[in-house]
Chain A
């Protein structure tokens, strides 16, 4: 029994929505970073589902563009998380907090 690509698309959309909602609602920077990862992985899942859909449609050869894209995105996400956590550490050293509510010195 195989899962049809459309279900995977729906799951990815759901993950993306959870990530986006968390990005706007949560105030802890670490959790916000996790939400961004969730959105990136939703994109990965969509790439894989799309590849699977193309493979099922044409059949001759597996479509590898999606998986390759996903591997690159995983690397990018790791690099981005490294920079993000470095910024959070710099923030914590200056202000002893990781809550976005306390990061509001800059405003109109």
Chain B
């Protein structure tokens, strides 16, 4: 089968939503969300049924097990994001719903191509196809001042990150004379040009902006706080995963012969990200900012997997991404429900949630335990796997640092978990009711988090197979 089939299907779905948006009367536009979500689930099922592996365009595009894993993460994140957005979209911007889903799908298409790209030009173009719709989606609630500010900060950082990445890639092209990653990998070891090292490090700085690694993280909490909550769950997961897909292809394969040169920079980024993310999360009082800093810390843990530079490390990184997907999308879905009911994202709004909606509180508890890495939910195995892989790679002190900071993390997650059950609700707080689409998304995420926690074996095996087919 054609390796391009998944991306072509996403593009076709985007066009379908676009045309349907033009033809539909505005009171029926909610159907577009159903269409986008169902379409993405269908494409996700397609990836399990058909064997499409292979390459295209002279090797510039490849569908290997690694790309397939990332595409599944994106498809799932997109389907859940469309589902969670159904009710809020109808209330906040009923007439523009079609545009919302169209932009979501186009961004998803960019990510999906990016995870398969093995050529610099294709990487840059798909990177932009991913990023541009995200800026627009962040600013989507036009009347909100915070949304506009968050989007502007996101845009300025994103555009600069593109410029820095491009400058780095232009230096790499100058030194190697080719834009194909396999050829760069074959030549890089023999080239003694300082341009190459400079290019590799500049590109790393540009990509660090994109994944929100410290010290390039300042935009993350502001953007999360400003953007509409249903969209933040997607923003927190999918573009970060795409950034890691690119990091793996560039730094573990194409630039691998230079690993001595960039390893210290990557290590410094990783340590800073772990420490700053976990420490700054301690003092947050807004749940979205808290989850943003916790997200930064999670990026740090994933970078530990990258630093191991082994197939096992990448496999655990893939596993972490899957666990992170369900946990974060789920957590932001709860934030969405509570925010809609109480009109606030302050942590105080979560006091006594168990008495306002016991199921919602239970879901939040599961997600918080998973974020904290408490045994027998998904997040525990994710952290454990990363640490074991890094230990095998000889990064002993980094594992000890990460484990110590994970304990700090448990404190700020469990502080909220405690107030869900033990504190009294604020005066006048009403019971919270949630709509069917959000409930479905919560059930999917919660079940997946618990299932991975109880029975992680098949996920571990698939992730390791995907990584080992790619990195020996």
Rounded to whole angstroms, the CA-CA distance of A54 and B221 in the bound complex is 44
Which of A23, A42, A87 has most chain B Cβ within 10 Å? A87
Rounded to whole angstroms, the CA-CA distance of A93 and B125 in the bound complex is 31
Residues of A within 8 A of B135 (CB): 83, 87
Q: Does A21 count as interface, using CB distance less than 8 angstroms?
A: no
Closest Cβ of chain A: how far from B161's Cβ, in Å? 10
Q: Does A18 count as interface, using CB distance less than 8 angstroms?
A: no
Rounded to whole angstroms, the CA-CA distance of A65 and B160 in the bound complex is 23
Contact of B173 (CB < 8 Å), options: A16, A69, A90: A69
Tell me whether chain B's interface is mostly helix, strand or loop, or mixed.
helix
Q: Which of B91-99, B148-156, B378-386 contacts A (4 or more CB under 8 A)?
A: B148-156
Contacts known (A63-B177, A106-B226); A80 close to B152, Cβ less than 8 A: no
Contacts known (A65-B173, A73-B124, A76-B125); A108 close to B160, Cβ less than 8 A: no
Q: Does B167 count as interface, using CB distance less than 8 angstroms?
A: yes
Q: Does B113 count as interface, using CB distance less than 8 angstroms?
A: no
Rounded to whole angstroms, the CA-CA distance of A108 and B148 in the bound complex is 18
Q: How many of A's residues come within 8 Å of B, CB to CB?
A: 45
Closest to A32 in B: B156
Interface size class of B (residues with CB under 8 A): 35 or more
Residues of A within 8 A of B225 (CB): 106
Contact B284 A108 (CB under 8 A): yes
Q: What 1/0 flags go to A31-56 for Cβ under 8 Å of B?
A: 01100100110111011011001100
Contact of B146 (CB < 8 Å), options: A16, A29, A106: A106
Q: Does B132 count as interface, using CB distance less than 8 angstroms?
A: yes
Contacts known (A9-B174, A76-B128, A87-B155); A43 close to B148, Cβ less than 8 A: no
Closest Cβ of chain B: how far from A63's Cβ, in Å? 7
Contact B174 A49 (CB under 8 A): yes
Q: Does B442 count as interface, using CB distance less than 8 angstroms?
A: no
Contact B121 A91 (CB under 8 A): no
Interface residues of A in 47-87 (CB under 8 A from B): 47, 49-50, 53-54, 63, 65-66, 68-69, 72-73, 76, 79-80, 83-84, 86-87
Give how many A-B residue pairs fall within 8 Å (CB-CB).
121
Contacts known (A80-B128, A80-B159, A95-B145); A69 close to B121, Cβ less than 8 A: yes
Residues of B within 8 A of A88 (CB): 152
Residues of A within 8 A of B151 (CB): 87, 90
Residues of A within 8 A of B121 (CB): 68-69, 72
Contact B148 A19 (CB under 8 A): no
Contact B171 A108 (CB under 8 A): no
Contacts known (A19-B163, A39-B164, A79-B128); A46 close to B170, Cβ less than 8 A: yes
Closest Cβ of chain A: how far from B252's Cβ, in Å? 24
Rounded to whole angstroms, the CA-CA distance of A39 and B148 in the bound complex is 24
Contacts known (A47-B170, A47-B173); A69 close to B148, Cβ less than 8 A: no
Q: Does A101 count as interface, using CB distance less than 8 angstroms?
A: no
Closest to B174 in A: A50
Closest Cβ of chain B: how far from A100's Cβ, in Å? 8
Contacts known (A49-B174, A54-B177); A39 close to B163, Cβ less than 8 A: yes
Rounded to whole angstroms, the CA-CA distance of A12 and B148 in the bound complex is 33
Q: Does B222 count as interface, using CB distance less than 8 angstroms?
A: yes
Q: Does B179 count as interface, using CB distance less than 8 angstroms?
A: yes
Contacts known (A36-B163, A65-B173); A106 close to B149, Cβ less than 8 A: yes
Closest to A15 in B: B167
Interface residues of A in 1-32 (CB under 8 A from B): 9, 12, 16, 19-20, 23, 29, 32
Rounded to whole angstroms, the CA-CA distance of A79 and B284 in the bound complex is 36
Rounded to whole angstroms, the CA-CA distance of A65 and B465 in the bound complex is 35
Contact B125 A103 (CB under 8 A): no
Closest Cβ of chain A: how far from B180's Cβ, in Å? 10
Q: What 1/0 flags go to B173-191 for Cβ under 8 Å of A?
A: 1100111000000000000
Contact B148 A87 (CB under 8 A): yes
Rounded to whole angstroms, the CA-CA distance of A73 and B121 in the bound complex is 9
Contacts known (A36-B163, A103-B152); A69 close to B179, Cβ less than 8 A: yes
Closest Cβ of chain A: how far from B77's Cβ, in Å? 22
Contacts A/B (CB < 8 Å), 30 sampled: A9-B174, A16-B167, A29-B156, A36-B156, A43-B169, A44-B170, A65-B179, A69-B121, A69-B124, A69-B170, A72-B121, A72-B124, A80-B159, A83-B135, A84-B155, A84-B156, A86-B136, A87-B135, A87-B148, A87-B151, A87-B155, A90-B142, A95-B145, A103-B153, A105-B146, A106-B150, A106-B226, A107-B222, A108-B283, A108-B284
* Additional A-B contact list (18), CB under 8 Å, known A84-B159, A108-B280: A9-B174, A12-B170, A20-B160, A29-B152, A36-B160, A39-B163, A43-B167, A46-B174, A47-B173, A47-B174, A49-B174, A50-B177, A72-B124, A73-B166, A87-B152, A91-B149, A94-B145, A105-B149
